[in-house]
Every structure is written in C-alpha cells, then in structure tokens.
C-alpha cells in the first residue's frame, strides 16, 4: 500500500463540523426546554386541580351540614320559638358555647333563649377579618313518646330531677336515651324552662344539679328556673298508677358553629358543637371539626318585621338598639326568617409555582321554615 493511498482514505473519511454539532445541541436544548415546560405546566395544573378539589370538597361538605342543621331551626319549640331561662333578681348569666379561649354569655337581663342567637364578630380575627358565631336550638325528634313528636310524659318532677314515663326507656342504648350534658325543655301550658342533665340513674330519672356547665340549673333566680316552673299552676302532682304530672319534657339540641384557630393556628377549622359537650365543665375546646383550612365565616339574616323586612342584618349594637337596620325599632332574633352564609377556605399548602394559597368562597341562603310555620291544629 502506497503513502498516497493512505492519504486519500483519510481525506475521504466523513464527520460533523463544529457548527453542525452546535446547531444540533441548540435544537435539542430547545426541544428539551419545551418538554420540561410542558411537564411543569402539567404538574402545576395537576397540583392546582388537586388543591382546588380538596378545598372545595371540604367547603361543600361543611356547608351542606350547616344547611341541613339550619333547616331545622326552631322546630318543636313553642309558638314563640323561645324558651324561658333564669332571669330577674338573683340570676347570673347563662353561658353559650364559643371559640376556644372565650367565655360567651347571654346579655344581662335576657329572659328567654331565642331559636337563633347571632354572634356577629365573636369569632377569631383571621386575615384582619372578625369571623362570626351562630348558635341555634331545635327539638330533638329522637326523644319522643308514642303520642307526640317531641313531648314526653313525666311521672315526677322535682326542683332538681325528672322521672320519665317508663314507655320511653332512657337507658337501653336507643336513640331516645338521655345522657349527661343533654338539654331538656320542660313545658306546662305557656310556662317553659331549660335545664341541663348532669347525671342519669337507672330508675328513669335525670338529675339537674346546679353545677351544670351552661348555668341553666339556677335556683336563686326569680324567674325562668325549674323552681319557678314547678310553682306555676297546676301543681306537679301525680297520684295513682299510670298518671303523669302536668309538665312534659322535650330534648333540645343547641348547635353552635364557629372557627377555631387556636387548636392548630396553621390550619383554622370550622367547628360544629352540640350543646356544651360536657355536663359540668364549661369547656370551649370541645366540638367536632367539619372542615380544615377555613378562614372566614360571615353570617347575616333576613328579617320579617311587617314594615320594611330588612335583609342582610348582622345584629350590630345599632341594630339591637333600634338605630340600625330595623329603625326605629330594635331588630329581634325572633324576626329572622332566612340565614345568609358565606364560608371561605384555602388550600392546605401553598402552590409550588406561585408560593400562594388557593382560596375560594361559597355562599348560600337558608329559609327557616319552622320559624314561620304555625300549627293551627295544636
């Protein structure tokens, strides 16, 4: 093989020039950048979709439960939709459930518990906004006799206890069982009173000690107590087999909704509370969390006063004094016919791309059928 032949073969060998390699790398980088951008966008869309779905699901579930409860406001209560509570000389404030770290009471001089007790601005302040609290009451249809939807006959009623008709077994594990912490409305004619069960024994008897958590079982108050109720004619007497005292008993459910940002400040939660949650200790750390990462609860009310029928009333001090939405008269919770709810929440975590929370707000209006219904046959 000659030197000339070897030189020719080397000159005939082909390859890529530096320019071609650089162009190829540039095109590859552009394609990879586009692919990574598409992947990043897909991941971001997936993250947003998951965060939005989880957030909205929690808000919808919580709002559905609130609506279900509020549709029953006032059911089974007397025609005025109120229950007498301890008042007058010697009375001390009746307590209401509320957010952790608070002590919530009815205003001094309050003579009755209305079906709805607004709590505008009584919740925690989150993101600079004071949240609302709402408490409402209704009769519990699970505690009933064979002759009434709500009222149960009694064979005895003292100043500190009641004995239930044996046809309603209060300790057999059924839905009509009575337990410490349950609220009972005693009714006789137009006289009513609200008491809290502190203990239940095995002889169909529920006891109302003065150590109850909501301060309902008062004895020194002049009006609205069990003692005052018993003293209202006719006398609470029962002689002979199968007789009943004049008073009947109705189990009452007191429901309270509020936001708790104390248990876990990083994840505020919407709490649903039944009664106080404990028969003898006033404890605002109780309640059931319905949804996490709830930042705002705002509630307003539509009223029927026979004149202007104001809407979006928040029961501010001016509203209650007569210079607000119902002027020249004070707004009354007994005039409430609709409840407007606004519930706001955020995603559990911040989005990786935006470094911000996703947020959403749901709103609805609940028409209170039991607040306007009158049973003309009773």
- What's the pLDDT tens digit per position in 283-293? 999 999 999 99
Distance between CA atoms of residues 55 and 227, nearest Å = 50
Distance between CA atoms of residues 106 and 147, nearest Å = 34
**pLDDT one-digit tens code per residue, 162-192:** 999 998 999 988 888 999 999 999 999 999 9
Using pLDDT thresholds of 50, 70 and 90, give the confidence band for residue 3: low
The answer to whether residue 124 scores a pLDDT higher than 90 is yes
Using pLDDT thresholds of 50, 70 and 90, give the confidence band for residue 33: confident
End-to-end CA distance of the chain: 125
Contacts of 268 (CB under 8 A, 6+ apart): 124, 126, 259, 260, 261, 292, 293, 294, 295
The residues pairing with 335 across neighbouring beta strands, listed in sequence order, are none
Residue/partner pairs of 324-331 with CB below 8 Å, 24 or more apart: 329/305, 331/303, 331/305
Q: Which of 216-230, 249-263, 357-371 has the weakest average pLDDT?
A: 357-371
What pLDDT does residue 13 have?
59
Per-residue pLDDT averaged across 184-208, rounded?
95
Counted residue by residue, the chain has a size of: 378
Using pLDDT thresholds of 50, 70 and 90, give the confidence band for residue 343: very high
């Amino acid at each position: 093989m000659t030197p000339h032949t070897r030189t020719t073969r080397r000159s005939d060998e082909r390859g890529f020039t530096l320019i071609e390699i650089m162009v190829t790398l540039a095109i590859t980088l552009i394609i990879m950048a586009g692919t990574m951008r598409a992947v990043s966008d897909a991941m971001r869309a997936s993250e947003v979709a998951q965060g939005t779905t989880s957030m909205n699901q929690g808000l919808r579930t919580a709002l559905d439960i609130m609506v279900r409860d509020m549709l029953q406001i006032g059911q089974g209560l007397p025609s005025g939709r109120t229950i007498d509570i301890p008042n007058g000389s010697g009375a001390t404030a009746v307590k209401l459930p509320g957010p952790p770290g608070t002590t919530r009471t009815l205003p001094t001089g309050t003579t009755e518990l209305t079906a709805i007790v607004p709590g505008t601005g009584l919740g925690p302040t989150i993101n600079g906004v004071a949240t609302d609290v709402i408490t409402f009451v209704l009769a519990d249809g699970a505690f009933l006799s064979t002759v009434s939807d709500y009222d149960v006959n009694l064979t005895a009623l003292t100043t500190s206890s009641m004995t239930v008709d044996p046809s309603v077994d209060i300790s057999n594990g059924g839905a009509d069982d009575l337990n410490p912490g349950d609220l009972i409305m005693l009714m006789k004619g137009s006289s009513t009173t609200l008491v809290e069960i502190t203990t239940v024994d095995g002889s169909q008897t529920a006891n109302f000690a003065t150590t109850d958590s909501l301060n309902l079982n008062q004895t020194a108050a002049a009006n609205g107590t069990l003692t005052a109720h018993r003293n209202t004619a006719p006398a609470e007497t029962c002689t002979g087999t199968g007789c009943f005292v004049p008073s009947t008993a109705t189990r009452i459910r007191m429901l309270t909704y509020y936001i708790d940002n104390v248990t876990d400040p990083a994840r505020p939660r919407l709490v649903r509370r039944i009664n106080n949650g404990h028969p003898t200790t006033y404890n605002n750390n109780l309640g059931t969390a319905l949804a996490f990462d709830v930042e705002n609860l705002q509630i307003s009310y539509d009223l029927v006063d026979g004149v202007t029928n104001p809407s979006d009333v928040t029961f501010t001090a001016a509203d209650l004094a007569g210079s607000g939405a119902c002027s020249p008269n004070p707004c009354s919770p007994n005039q409430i016919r609709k409840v407007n709810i606004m519930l706001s929440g955020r995603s559990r975590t911040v989005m990786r791309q935006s470094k911000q929370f996703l947020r959403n707000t749901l709103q609805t209006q609940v028409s209170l059928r039991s607040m306007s219904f009158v049973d003309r046959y009773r």
